[in-house]
Chain A
């Protein structure tokens, strides 16, 4: 599972900054049928969690209404430099994660 994460070049202490993440995923709704008429099993990324130095700072619960290759943007603040870790898991049990070092400036 390929993902791309982007944060601003400069992060100020205590100031909100945006985190953007795009994940390559089919986000199969479970409402579609294959050529033989069988239901294609639902497989969406149902949970995405962001932790900053181990502390959960953001959580998203996604459903079948989210398009393929989901793109999320959210804002967090950082009290000090650290590591932002994003992790997610889909209905098939396939998990992914990305780690981004964050350098905070005053």
Chain B
């Protein structure tokens, strides 16, 4: 009986791929890497694909466990850090100043020319402006601060820039999105463009938008970043996972953020 389970998974993936042709218009994989990038139609939030009980948990502002990270982030926002003993609030003021910030990330930092996601921007601000000890990727304080900042943009549509200096990052992210990887030999696009809404085992495949991140995942019993989720996906197709903070993650995140353009931020989301 033990051998049945992996076989069932493989069968599910094979069956899912067999249906790739159904949504040809939404599948850049069939038209080649250099075709114009497309978004799923209609765009649907990640929460739409979650079970009703999980949707209810996300919608109830008290019951949503991600709000614990938001609450901690609000405290950290006012906590003096670093050599100058300055808090985030000392420069940025209260919550209102961050309204809409999360809709514009990842973005290219004009000074360094590097692509930064929201976590990266917070870390940069912390090291350069506050002169404080760096926060580790995926650490609880970083997740809390990111959740708090993202929460300020709840309900606002994603609108990242992919022009000018962001363009090469975007193109690489798009190519990576369509690149087959891992032992399963699957690209992001094959699940999240061609087969969203279908079942994969007990899961409903989502469109793969990052609008709910940082997200509270019941499987993780905690909050996690989009990068952690991407690593999860890579592990799922048995590919080598990108390290936290790597270019691969950032470029892919930029493509995903563009692809979710117009969708409202729903952070902190709750997922299974």
- Provided the pairs A68-B221, A68-B222, A69-B221 are in contact, do residues A22 and B69 lie with their beta carbons within 8 angstroms? no
In this assembly, does A6 line the interface, its C-beta being within 8 Å of a C-beta of chain B? yes
* B221-A71 in contact (CB<8A): no
Mark interface residues in B55-69 (1 if CB within 8 Å of A CB, else 0). Answer: 000000011010111
**Measured between alpha carbons, how far is A27 from B62 in the docked complex, in Å?**
20
**Measured between alpha carbons, how far is A5 from B79 in the docked complex, in Å?**
22
Q: Which residues of B contact A67 (CB under 8 A)?
A: 221
* B69-A20 in contact (CB<8A): no
Least CB separation from A28: chain B residue: B221
In this assembly, does B71 line the interface, its C-beta being within 8 Å of a C-beta of chain A? yes
In this assembly, does B172 line the interface, its C-beta being within 8 Å of a C-beta of chain A? no
In this assembly, does A24 line the interface, its C-beta being within 8 Å of a C-beta of chain B? yes
Least CB separation from B75: chain A residue: A2
* A69-B222 in contact (CB<8A): yes
**Measured between alpha carbons, how far is A22 from B221 in the docked complex, in Å?**
14
- Provided the pairs A2-B75, A6-B62, A71-B63 are in contact, do residues A22 and B68 lie with their beta carbons within 8 angstroms? yes
In this assembly, does A4 line the interface, its C-beta being within 8 Å of a C-beta of chain B? yes
* A69-B62 in contact (CB<8A): no
* B221-A2 in contact (CB<8A): no
Q: Which residues of A contact B231 (CB under 8 A)?
A: none
Mark interface residues in A66-89 (1 if CB within 8 Å of B CB, else 0). Answer: 011101000000000000000000
In this assembly, does B229 line the interface, its C-beta being within 8 Å of a C-beta of chain A? no
Interface residue from A6, A20, A22, A26 paired with B65 (Cβ < 8 Å): A22
* B62-A2 in contact (CB<8A): no
Q: Which residues of B contact A69 (CB under 8 A)?
A: 65, 68, 221-222
* B65-A2 in contact (CB<8A): no
Q: Which residues of B contact A2 (CB under 8 A)?
A: 68, 71-72, 75
> 14 A-B Cβ contacts within 8 A?
A2-B68, A2-B71, A2-B72, A2-B75, A3-B68, A20-B62, A22-B65, A22-B68, A67-B221, A68-B221, A68-B222, A69-B65, A69-B222, A71-B65
7 nearest A-B pairs in the assembled complex, by CB-CB distance? A68-B221, A24-B68, A2-B72, A69-B65, A6-B62, A2-B71, A2-B68
Q: A22-B63, A22-B65, A22-B67 are in contact. List 12 more A-B contacts (CB 8 A).
A: A2-B68, A3-B68, A6-B62, A24-B68, A24-B69, A26-B222, A27-B221, A67-B221, A68-B221, A68-B222, A69-B222, A71-B65
Chain B residues near A (Cβ < 8 Å): 62-63, 65, 67-69, 71-72, 75, 221-222
